[in-house]
Structure 1
């Protein structure tokens, strides 16, 4: 990193920088629209992703023209084009070389008056494969770093930025870069210059065979629909795959075109028939009906007709020049970055008027360009797995993963916003949320759904002023999804780890699509990109429909990684003891493996939420093995266990070693327990070592909030001090346990409460953890006693819990 970093610091600050990988190509999305600063390039170098540094050509870097000299025969070409000796035609300026003979790049400066009149131009030399490229807007050139065939890029002797000034661009270069104004070039000249891929979106339809185009246009009658549909579907899929493989942009979605064909048949084919044809074709992995030469001919003919149809019109830019297309996209991108939406619309309308294009067409074209600009560069699966730098991180252990997207939907007034506020407070302060560890990160609240006075009042009641330090939570009240670029810039600068958007509807007021349209949810994909690029998690609040599902298009659900549903208890659940402040959190979709149903209770005094465990329709349902394992490790936090050592634990119900190991691994991946690798003798007498894992809940895992020593106010009740009442179930006997832990365990064994009886009221006084949070401040009624445990239940609880007698203290005998 050091050498590349030092070279970068010596270069001019005003240039527009590009991070380049090992193959001389930029690897970041939209690199031509969003150049990097020096500090951002340094960060990419430190992360090990950037191996070379490029500079955006043209206007982004203040009018720098990069002349790429590719081959020794270019000397004669330069003299021929300029009519000057080589030394005069190419005045001394800053220059870079890769070390290959006859190859270099020269940098010249173009005055502002010429910026709009020139475009990138490629000029062939006499030797095949050699030539000049005069690079302008839309291009980038590498100036230092890794080269795949040499020992790297370096400045020409005496021609670095520090040793040499950038010379003005010679006039003959600017003349060569003037775009053609006439579009009536002969077919021969057009054919000679034609190369695939072309910088235009070719209709997929024109690349189909003549027979399949006829099928698509007319449909077919009953009796031959299946065979004809199968042939057309294979051609659509194969041709689309071929065009994508050669990097050729195209218009038309194969599946939508199949649906159109099905509707044109007589009688129309059903949606189920269309699905059957599609799945059958996908399984066969078909190729195109036409040969590559025939497809090239189709594209060439289409592009020629496009040019002839537009001949004679005085366009503001040459429509078929790749550089001019790049310039247009760059201009549109800059307009869409303007914070003021009114100013955006004004500037886009002005540009559209000059180009004789509808404004919506330019906007749609730019978004397509953004998605298509990502390089298609598959990696070997072994390289992909080896590139993993760390395991999944958690903002809230076992519930909210880092770098993910979540939709939380609920009916109005259910409390989804208050739940989001409670999560933000825990994450921003780094305090456990209901006993579950949190990772302290900066948070952003985008609140566009409720009035400012309500937000201020709720945050004040929630204790933000006292519990959250300055600088950890920021609030934005006017952002819209149409301002995604501003959000990206803010995240780039501030690097928050948790972003809450309340709500999807209110932040989409500027959208032209309706909530039922698939395109309405496309902005969620932009959040996915931000989550991947910056490692932050997005929680987007939304509303449910009358049927209790996510309101609007199903794409809202499909475009995110996690879907949470917060609902009120059903009547049957109310009859089981759930109150008006209880809610059920259904994790309906989870790519991080957190699916499940959980009971929460809202404390209306401070808007905090109490986690009350997994939700089940039946009180007597057996808890899963992972939950029982977690309870046991929490009770004996700090003690390391091998899976083998847990076989004798009665609560685990005779689970096998392999089942315990798999459950512990799942808990570890969710961040609920930790693991350490250790070595022990393999017992073969040859001195070998065996690697194994031990699992544990560290002391830091436990909630720092102590159990209250004050009882609920009840007539005639009295409470003794809870000091010293820290009992725990005796752990499995372990020969290697540290002495301090053994002493702690022995002390716990001596404090078993053997006087508790059925009907008594008691209070939990065991270790901190999720069960401590559940029982906090509650009078528990003993329903049954067996095997050293009490079956207890509190008012408004839906379920009873089995708690060791050692963790309970009588406060009111039966």
Structure 2
């Protein structure tokens, strides 16, 4: 039985009229094609969560996406759907947005006059909440800003709206699964009604940051969005070798593949896709790592310093990566080189010591 008018009025439940249909009605009807803003990465008509720790550059990356959509140009080398775009920032003021737009225009070879299809709104210093909590039921209700945004979307009919950032726009507890799902549902309502992609930016929780998953608060956020991307710095054992390098990872994709990565570099105020590594480049890098590993193993052996393949304080890849002659080879790269050298028989694992306390160590094979 549907709720009566008194219940709806008391608990502020919006009136609705559900439309049920039989699956048989689909017989003979053309199957609608899935719509994408960025093919395989950002679907239209739903919500994508773009996460990243503070200072990684997710706001800039999302603004570049909005500009690419408005300019009908590729984003990170990927074709975007053409259309108007809207960028709502609760973090950056007008001057900061101006500086970033200037950098993007410089990189694209255009002027701000060419971005007439990109609408900006700075909420810095204002009430940026898109919802309010009902004091009695705890349910989320659309705020005045949400209704204002809904009307603007109706007027502009954009292909994309970017919302930066979740912490400023969401009024509830990020660890509350029910509230997370309800808020994503409100945003998805915008995406469906206006046939656009909604990209919401968010910071990862401490556990999401430490694990590398990039999740934010409750699992409700990850479960409710249809796509989730994560922008992170490139680190090896906690060490950042290039402060301008980033990786954009596909962490969830209900309509495509997960696990994809795009390597990026920050250059002159914008992110650009890193040049792909060719087969010859990769072979040269692997050969270098193997040469470094062999040379250091010989040097350590000559000094009477034994290293092992299994871990601990004498773990070869770790000690070698910290050596002055490592030639910038990281622990991860040297670990791969060690495995390749072992497989090729160029190095070997030996044992010595009494039977009750055998110890293993690495040695260069004859002819290695």
Q: Place the TM-score, normalised by the shorter chain, in its bin.
A: 0.5 to 0.7
Whether 1:440 and 2:82 are equivalent positions in the alignment is yes
Whether 1:485 and 2:128 are equivalent positions in the alignment is no
Q: Distance in 1 between matches of 2:34 and 2:105?
A: 31
Where in structure 2 are there 5+ consecutive unaligned residues?
A: 131-142, 286-327, 334-368
Match of 1:469 in 2: 114
Question: Conserved in 2, the CA contact under 8 Å of 1:403 and 1:531?
Answer: yes
Q: Distance in 2 between matches of 1:410 and 1:494?
A: 29
- Pairing of 1:192-207 with structure 2 (within 5 A): none
Q: How big is the shift at 1:437?
A: 2.0
Q: Distance in 2 between matches of 1:486 and 1:385?
A: 40
User: How many pairs does the alignment contain?
Assistant: 264
Q: How big is the shift at 1:405?
A: 0.8
Q: Distance in 2 between matches of 1:451 and 1:386?
A: 52
Match of 1:515 in 2: 174
Q: Secondary structure at the match of 2:284?
A: strand
Q: Distance in 2 between matches of 1:565 and 1:480?
A: 24
Change (3 A) 1:612 1:563: farther
Q: Distance in 2 between matches of 1:597 and 1:385?
A: 36
Q: Secondary structure at the match of 1:496?
A: coil
Q: Secondary structure at the match of 1:407?
A: strand
Q: 1:486-513 CA distances to partner (integer Å, 9 max, x unpaired)? A: 22211111101100000011123xx2x3
Match of 2:195 in 1: 535
Match of 2:39 in 1: 397
Match of 2:206 in 1: 546
Match of 1:502 in 2: 164
Higher relative contact order (CA 8 A, sep 6+): 2
Q: Secondary structure at the match of 1:593?
A: coil
Question: Conserved in 2, the CA contact under 8 Å of 1:429 and 1:468?
Answer: no
Q: State the superposition RMSD in angstroms.
A: 3.4
Q: Secondary structure at the match of 1:550?
A: coil
Match of 1:219 in 2: none
Q: Distance in 1 between matches of 2:35 and 2:276?
A: 23
Change (3 A) 1:529 1:387: farther
Change (3 A) 1:389 1:474: farther
Q: 1:217-263 CA distances to partner (integer Å, 9 max, x unpaired)? A: xxxxxxxxxxxxxxxxxxxxxxxxxxxxxx333xxxxxxxxxxxxxx
Where in structure 1 are there 5+ consecutive unaligned residues?
A: 1-246, 250-319, 330-361, 621-757, 759-779, 785-794, 800-814
Question: Conserved in 2, the CA contact under 8 Å of 1:396 and 1:427?
Answer: no
Change (3 A) 1:574 1:381: farther
Q: How big is the shift at 1:389?
A: 5.9
Match of 2:70 in 1: 428
- Pairing of 1:128-527 with structure 2 (within 5 A): 247-249=1-3, 322=5, 325=6, 329=9, 362=10, 365-366=11-12, 368-370=13-15, 373-377=16-20, 379-384=21-26, 386-388=28-30, 390-463=32-105, 466=111, 469-478=114-123, 479-481=128-130, 482=143, 483-508=145-170, 511=171, 513-521=172-180, 522-527=182-187
Q: How big is the shift at 1:589?
A: 1.0
Q: Distance in 2 between matches of 1:395 and 1:468?
A: 23
Match of 2:251 in 1: 588
Question: Conserved in 2, the CA contact under 8 Å of 1:414 and 1:567?
Answer: yes
Q: 1:365-419 CA distances to partner (integer Å, 9 max, x unpaired)? A: 22x334xx14151x22242465556311222233222222111111111111111
Match of 1:604 in 2: 267
- Pairing of 1:556-635 with structure 2 (within 5 A): 556-571=221-236, 579-612=242-275
Change (3 A) 1:437 1:406: same
Match of 1:206 in 2: none
Q: Distance in 2 between matches of 1:560 and 1:385?
A: 29
